[in-house]
Structure 1
Amino acid sequence: MLATALFISERSLQRRFKAVFGYTFKEALISARLENAKTLLAKGEKVSDVSIACGFNEPSYFSKSFKARFGYTPTQYREMTEKEEV
């Protein structure tokens, strides 16, 4: 949709985005979604609800991406934040 709005091809958008920012548009989107997920998990939201709310169609992909980014699973993170509140 962004490429269409800018009147360029998706590939051109990908190349230009990476040239400017040093990472792909998809990487930026996933990063933003994971940061949002972290906020929701810290509020005590259910992992499955957070996964869907943040745009991940597959909970397993969400968990895998979250762990790769932060070093722990969404469930582990939620439990850690719950303990900090006590």
Structure 2
Amino acid sequence: MGKRLEREFEAVRKKMEEAAIRLGMDHPEVHRLSKRLDRLHNQMLWERKALMEVPRRGRDRFYRIRRYSYYLRETSEGCG
């Protein structure tokens, strides 16, 4: 994950905390900073997910369903 993104996240978080103390939790500036912090957090999560994914080689894996699975039924016990 990018260090620039982490530094920006911490800077915005600190600004939001200071604005909340100074202006109150319901102030529009605090809400704006909170939304910006959410966007940065989502971006960090997407980057982390991209680093964790391993490219697949070949075809996707398919899981076979049992041949006689149509014999399975749902029952409603205790209803009615």
Provide the TM-score with structure 1 as the length reference. 0.32
Larger Rg: 2
- What is the TM-score of this pair, normalised by structure 2? 0.33
1 or 2 for the larger relative contact order (CA 8 Å, sep ≥6)? 2
Structure with a larger share of its residues in helix: 1
